[in-house]
Amino acid sequence: MSFNLLVLTCLAYVALLFAVASLAERSAEEGRAGWLRSPLVYTLSLSVYCTAWTFYGAVGYAARSGLEFMTIYLGPTLVFVGWWVILRKLVRIGRENRVTSIADFISSRYGKSNLLGVIVTVLCISAGTPYIALQLQSIAQSFTVFVTDLDTAPVAGDRTLIALWVAIGLAFFTIVFGTRNLDANEQHHGVVTAIALEAVVKLVALLAVGVFVVWGVAGGPADILARIDAQALPDWQIQPGRWTGLILLSAIAIITLPRMFQVLVVENVDDKHLATASWAFPAYLFAISLFVLPIAALGMELMPAGSNPDMFVMTLPLALGRDDLALLAFLGGFSAATSMVIVASLALATMVSNHIVVPLWLALRAANGQDTGNMRLLVLNVRRLSISIVLGFGYLYYVMSGGSEALAAIGLIAFVGMAQTLPALLGALFWRGASRTGAALGLISGAALWAYTLLLPSFGPGVVLPAHVMADGLFGLPWLRPYSLFGLTTLDPLLHALFWSLLVNVLAFCIGSFLSFPSPIERVQGALFVNVYDRPGPARSWSRPMAQAEDLLPVAQRIIGVKSAQAFFQAQAEGQGKAGFLPDITPEFLEALELKLAGSVGAATAHAMIAQSAGTAVVSVEDLMAVASETAQIMEYSSQLEAKSEELTRTARKLREANDKLRKLSVQKDAFLSQISHELRTPMTSIRAFSEIMMEADSLSPEEQAHFAQVIHDESIRLTRLLDDLLDLSVLEHGQVQLDVAPANLRKLLDQAVTSSKSVQANRMFRIIRSRDDEEIMVTTDGGRLTQVFINILSNARKYCTAETPEIYIQVRQMQDMIEIDFTDNGAGIPTESQALIFEKFARLTDSLHAGGAGLGLAICREIMQKLGGDIIYVPGQGGASFRVSFPRVLAARAPRREAAE
């Protein structure tokens, strides 16, 4: 084909691309971009991965190394099928944060650090420029292969002119469709649509050549397989280590290559497209690799020895007389090269302008005190300039490298270079502890090792690195040889570089992150990236109406109290020279207010409230989490307080009860002491008075003397008995009474009691009625104590029975194991209102007869009967005083009951 015709064909093809791109842009502007935003277009745009290097080079690769070319497709396939999670998160974060490039992604994750942006940009340019040069070379090469009249063509003198014109044309296209407007989200529908079209051309071209080769030249699949076997070389053996390394490398590349990041993340309009791409893109890769080996095999078989296998896709149809297929193949290769160059230059130019040129420009303008002027136009022009620069670099690189064979390897070298961004990128996605320092250290050390062990040596000994460094290592140190660092000689240079650069990169990244403390903005961005799914929906609107002071005042009032809030606002307004409660919303005021509120609700909550109210910032996940944790702490604290206060209430109630009890006991004790005092002082009074009388008067008659001595004697006995009773009661109530339990005859016990009680009012006639037969019962109990009770009852009857002819009736009943004895006299009985009191201490009802008791008798009786397992009660309505004593016939041997002191 003539040169002119081919140029015309190319121009026509480019015109078609222009038309498609324009159409897409116009549709997008008119809001009819429905089909443009389809998952299909998205998937096809991803095929920018398949450059001229894969289009032409894959066949050459297959001719030299067999199936190894497949690794370049297997890596991306694994990522799309297996590591879909990473892609999804990457895409979501990219969209939510309006990320414009991989440099922007890493820089904003690590605290919007422009240093990182610059590092990544420089890395991308270093790795990307040779790659662009490779595309230019492949186009130029395909021209020379295809054109039959090259010697008479205008470019005959200098083949690089082809590359120059291609570069200029592509720069023009990219500028027109890549910098039409400065969209907030950096999406270029025209470019993407054109790329999608080129993807189809690439695929169709390769499939057409493949089908022709398999069915047109060979006799179908079986025949082609046989011919492939015939061509197999020893080099075609699969090397597992190299395969693994290459698959890993291409897997990393699909994520980190600037052009892939551009189409995958920046140009993505919907997460869901990724779902389609996750199977459709691997399918595309499969289809495009399907006929690579057959073409390579037949090329080797049919083409003359020494033919460049990289051009088999085109030269094979040409040799077989199929110029139409060859032209299609040429357009396929042209598509692959141009789409890569367009997207890569767009992506690189965005980085260069955003991270290097614009910051420099602004710094210069600011230093000269100039106004920044029209930013929009500035950025667009810088972007256009950057595209030209990037393509210019690519062209220069191509010219300087002289189209050497070394260029062919540049694809994988670029892969390793871009792989250096992987640790920082994955850290951005999954590790909140990753820090800017760590990312910078990892990137720099990884990039340096990549340059030293792979990029610089790739130019050949003596070009960049002196030959002696290559052979003997830096400074003559063998362990610093670029291809066998630290004595590692078993890996080929590519894997060797990949291993060392990534290892050191990851180590530096982790160590740097562990040792450095992230700044607040890094922490916020980290939370925003890592927890991207925690945020409902897309990013909130940035424009919120500014809060007014009258909106903030109620908020403040609710938090710090009405008075305090008003005083604060008034003071602030006064500070601004305003009267009233409403200061202007200045940053200083907001800061002061935040500080004030922080004292009450915690710093994070205060910040979130002010940020929300003032509309100055979007509340981040981190902020909200801090708020939640503060709230949780406050709730925890208050529930602790609540529990404590409940405990206090309980304790207070117990204390109050104990206090009441003590007070009652104290009152009882006072009353008891007062009673005892009275009971002791009364006989003492008589004793003292009469002894004084006897001491002073010597004129007493013998009768008087005898009488007074008798009184003193009687009162002494009364005193003694009182003390005995007190001790007895005390022992019964509190002490451990030793009961003397033994068998005894109840009749004999009663006899004893009757005899003993006769001494009370001995001169008074007292009739005791008994039924001795009923009393013949053997009991096992403390006979002495029981008798004491009987005596007490009988003595009381003798003292208090008011009847003319007093008598007492003793009646014994035996009921099963219990014995009941009623003592009933014929006196007036005990008044109903007093019956409840008679068993209390000092409950002497009347002293009118001067019975001589201290009022402890019945209290003692009750204590004794309870100790004997029985009781003593007053039985009302029996015609006189009636006491019933009951007790078990046999007192079970048991441990003495320990009574609680009351």
Partner 1 sequence: MNQKRVLVLEDEPNISEAIRFILTRDGWQVEVEADGIAALERLRSAPPDALILDLMLPDMNGFDVLRSLRASEATRHLPVLMLTAKGQSADRELAAQLGVTRFMTKPFANADVVSALQSMVAS
Count interface residues toward partner 1 (CB under 8 A). 25
Residues 510-539 that bind partner 1 (CB under 8 A): none
Residues 850-889 that bind partner 1 (CB under 8 A): 850
Residues 271-330 that bind partner 1 (CB under 8 A): none
- Please, what is the minimum distance in Å from the beta carbon of residue 845 to partner 1? 9
Report the residue number, 371 or 696, with the smaller CB distance to partner 1.
696
250 vs 429: CA distance, rounded Å: 20
- Please, what is the minimum distance in Å from the beta carbon of residue 834 to partner 1? 13
695, two tokens: 């001491």
Report the residue number, 90 or 712, with the smaller CB distance to partner 1.
712
- Please, what is the minimum distance in Å from the beta carbon of residue 847 to partner 1? 6
- Please, what is the minimum distance in Å from the beta carbon of residue 850 to partner 1? 6
Contact call for residue 848 and partner 1 (CB under 8 A): yes
121 vs 213: CA distance, rounded Å: 43
- Please, what is the minimum distance in Å from the beta carbon of residue 687 to partner 1? 7
Instruction: Please name the residues in contact with 446: beta carbons below 8 A apart, sequence gap of 6 or more.
Output: 420, 423, 501, 502, 504, 505, 508
* Block residue for tokens 């760590």: 438
Neighbours of 466 (CB within 10 A): 12
Evaluate whether 752 touches 788 at the Cβ level (below 8 Å). no
Report the residue number, 653 or 681, with the smaller CB distance to partner 1.
681
- Please, what is the minimum distance in Å from the beta carbon of residue 758 to partner 1? 23
Give the contact letters, 687-716, x = binds to partner 1 (CB under 8 A), - = no.
Answer: xxxx-xx--xx-------------x--xx-
Contact call for residue 685 and partner 1 (CB under 8 A): yes
From start to end of 561-622, where are the E strands? none
856 vs 839: CA distance, rounded Å: 8
Give the contact letters, 65-104, x = binds to partner 1 (CB under 8 A), - = no.
Answer: ----------------------------------------
179, two tokens: 């910098």
Report the residue number, 370 or 846, with the smaller CB distance to partner 1.
846
Report the residue number, 531 or 686, with the smaller CB distance to partner 1.
686
Evaluate whether 539 touches 567 at the Cβ level (below 8 Å). no
379, two tokens: 């950025």
839 vs 836: CA distance, rounded Å: 7
Report the residue number, 41 or 830, with the smaller CB distance to partner 1.
830
Which listed range, 30-38, 505-513, 679-687, 732-740, lies at the site for partner 1 (CB under 8 A)? 679-687
Report the residue number, 569 or 708, with the smaller CB distance to partner 1.
708
DSSP letters spanning 314-330: HHHHHHTT-HHHHHHHH
583 vs 569: CA distance, rounded Å: 7
Residues 827-846 that bind partner 1 (CB under 8 A): 846
Contact call for residue 663 and partner 1 (CB under 8 A): no
- Please, what is the minimum distance in Å from the beta carbon of residue 764 to partner 1? 17
Residue type, 506: V
Contact call for residue 677 and partner 1 (CB under 8 A): yes
Report the residue number, 679 or 775, with the smaller CB distance to partner 1.
679
Residue among 21, 373, 348, 379 nearest 181 (CA): 379
Helix, strand, or coil here: 592?
Answer: helix
Evaluate whether 876 touches 801 at the Cβ level (below 8 Å). no
- Please, what is the minimum distance in Å from the beta carbon of residue 849 to partner 1? 10
Contact call for residue 27 and partner 1 (CB under 8 A): no
- Please, what is the minimum distance in Å from the beta carbon of residue 776 to partner 1? 43
395 vs 162: CA distance, rounded Å: 10
Evaluate whether 417 touches 123 at the Cβ level (below 8 Å). yes
- Please, what is the minimum distance in Å from the beta carbon of residue 756 to partner 1? 25
Report the residue number, 231 or 691, with the smaller CB distance to partner 1.
691
Candidate residues 636, 647, 660, 847; the one interacting with partner 1 per rule CB under 8 A: 847
Burial of 638 (0-12, 13-18, 19+ CB in 10 A): exposed
Residue among 502, 513, 517 nearest 431 (CA): 513
| HEC per residue, 646-672 | HHHHHHHHHHHHHHHHHHHHHHHHHHH
Residue among 522, 548, 521, 544 nearest 618 (CA): 544
Give the contact letters, 250-269, x = binds to partner 1 (CB under 8 A), - = no.
Answer: --------------------
Give the contact letters, 375-414, x = binds to partner 1 (CB under 8 A), - = no.
Answer: ----------------------------------------
Contact call for residue 674 and partner 1 (CB under 8 A): yes
| HEC per residue, 120-133 | HHHHHHHHHHHHHH
Report the residue number, 310 or 679, with the smaller CB distance to partner 1.
679
**CA 170 remoteness from chain centre:** 49
Helices (H), 435-543: 436-450, 456-458, 467-472, 493-515, 520-530
- Please, what is the minimum distance in Å from the beta carbon of residue 708 to partner 1? 8
- Please, what is the minimum distance in Å from the beta carbon of residue 799 to partner 1? 14
* Block residue for tokens 């094979």: 316
Q: What backbone phi and psi angles, to 5 degrees, belong to 883?
A: -115, 135
Residues 160-199 that bind partner 1 (CB under 8 A): none
- Please, what is the minimum distance in Å from the beta carbon of residue 832 to partner 1? 18
Evaluate whether 277 touches 39 at the Cβ level (below 8 Å). yes
Report the residue number, 655 or 697, with the smaller CB distance to partner 1.
697
Report the residue number, 185 or 668, with the smaller CB distance to partner 1.
668
| Count of residues in the chain | 902
- Please, what is the minimum distance in Å from the beta carbon of residue 679 to partner 1? 8
Evaluate whether 611 touches 617 at the Cβ level (below 8 Å). yes
122 vs 440: CA distance, rounded Å: 13
Report the residue number, 696 or 902, with the smaller CB distance to partner 1.
696
Give the contact letters, 712-751, x = binds to partner 1 (CB under 8 A), - = no.
Answer: --xx------------------------------------
Give the contact letters, 30-69, x = binds to partner 1 (CB under 8 A), - = no.
Answer: ----------------------------------------
Give the H/E segment covering residue 811: strand 807-815
Report the residue number, 576 or 674, with the smaller CB distance to partner 1.
674
Residue among 191, 194, 268 nearest 37 (CA): 268
- Please, what is the minimum distance in Å from the beta carbon of residue 706 to partner 1? 14
Q: 680-686: long-range contacts at Cβ-Cβ below 8 A with a sequence spacing of 24 or more?
A: 680/719, 680/722, 683/715, 683/716, 683/718, 683/719, 683/722, 684/715, 684/719, 686/711, 686/712, 686/715
Report the residue number, 26 or 678, with the smaller CB distance to partner 1.
678
- Please, what is the minimum distance in Å from the beta carbon of residue 742 to partner 1? 41
Report the residue number, 719 or 891, with the smaller CB distance to partner 1.
719
Report the residue number, 579 or 695, with the smaller CB distance to partner 1.
695
Contact call for residue 203 and partner 1 (CB under 8 A): no
* Interface residue list for partner 1 (CB under 8 A): 674, 677-682, 684-690, 692-693, 696-697, 711, 714-715, 846-848, 850
